[in-house]
Amino acid sequence: MSFMIHCGGKKVNFAELSAIELPEKTDTYEPVAFSDLLTNTKRICDDLLNLEFVDQKLAVSKNEQRFFGLLQYKDPSNEEMGQAIGIRSSHDKSMSNGFCAGSTVFVCDNMAFTGDVTYMRKHTKNVLEDLQDKLVSVLYKSKDKFSNIVKDAENMKEITISTDDAYSFIGRAFGHKTLGARQASDAIRHWNSPPYSEFMDQNVWSLYNSCTEALKSTPPNKILERHIELHDRTLSEFGIS
């Protein structure tokens, strides 16, 4: 999975994430190490999701000051899609610590998120403990979100569209800034030449994954919101409820 390859970001492993220097603590600012946030998130997910852990995707940008992580879990009832928890944080105060529940498509690691990003707004005292409480709330809602996304995917597969329909959707997504200019171009390329055989059918599901494939170049402070925007836009424009 290639996060942010067009935005100066890079993939990292856990050791590289752990080596990132923590900013100095002040009376009003309590930084959270990215590796600590990831470790605590995974521990709680392992305990509460009761699913098989599959993999984690980690990326940083802006001189390693912004972090995005994706934890992937396998649901035995679905071979195509798994549950996912998105994590984001920063050391440069550009964004809050945040979580979002969603799904991941195993064949390509594309993400589907819906709802809101649950987060603590500030790096203040006891922030890690407070974040754990927030995460528990996210996980309790994750099963319903996953079921809804699976249902949305099935509905998308039932709607056949033309190439003109796909172009129009991508153009509007670009116009509304859900996709950047290069991402829109990438989405069109993926639609015309799907990188995976599973998306050869000309339907909304294939279009959706053309766009989520393009969104892999989104920077960490935007990635969860962009996926949520794309999901909501797809449901709205194609009348999926």
SS3 85: strand
More confident residue, 2 or 16: 16
Please state, in angstroms and rounded to a whole number, the distance separating the CA atoms of residues 75 and 158: 23
How much is the pTM? 0.89
Q: Enter the DSSP assignment of 21.
A: P
Q: What is the pLDDT of residue 8?
A: 59
Contacts of 139 (CB under 8 A, 6+ apart): 44, 45, 48, 49, 85, 101
Q: What is the pLDDT of residues 115-136, one digit of tens each?
A: 888 876 555 666 777 778 888 8
